[in-house]
Amino acid sequence: MQRYSLCALDELPEPGSKGFDMDLGEERVSLFVVRRDNEVHGYINSCPHTGVALEWVPDQFLDADGSFIECATHGALFTIEEGKCVSGPCAGDRLKPVRLSVDNDVIYWLVD
């Protein structure tokens, strides 16, 4: 397993989100992390509706009150904890999760 450093935990507001474009050799992966209630969740940055990136401006993946992940294109809302779409054209679909770990206040992406 590979471990890639993403950012320090305190670079994320509570609640807050941050996006990353990672180069894995010839593959480029766009993902984001969300911090809320002292937990960190991560997903591939691709809406299950059309596959576009979710954010409306850089690092802004949450709705106005920080309760849900929101797709900027058609407004789908996803739970932060499970990435499940609860409102919008892809209701019932899920964001693809990524594995994270937090070690010494640094967030890492874990890749098999």
Task: Return residues touching ligand FES (CB under 6 A).
Answer: 47, 49-50, 52, 71, 73-74, 76, 88-90
- Give Cα 40 distance to the centre of its chain: 9
Distance CA 58, CA 103 (A): 25
CA-closest candidate to residue 101, choices 43, 41, 50, 54: 41
Instruction: Choose among 42, 33, 37: nearest CA to 14.
Output: 37
Nearer to ligand FES, 9 or 60 (CB): 60
* In the complex, least distance from residue 36 CB atom to ligand FES, rounded to whole angstroms: 21
Q: How far is the CB of 51 from ligand FES (least distance, A)?
A: 8
Question: Considering beta carbons, is residue 40 or 53 the nearer one to ligand FES?
Answer: 53
Contact 35, 63 (CB under 8 A): no
Q: Compare residues 7 and 52 and give the one whose CB is closer to ligand FES.
A: 52
User: Least distance to ligand FES from the beta carbon of 94, Å?
Assistant: 13
Looking at beta carbons only, is 47 or 62 nearer to ligand FES? 47
Supply the minimum distance, in Å, between the C-beta of residue 72 and ligand FES. 8
Pairing between strand 68-70 and 77-79? antiparallel
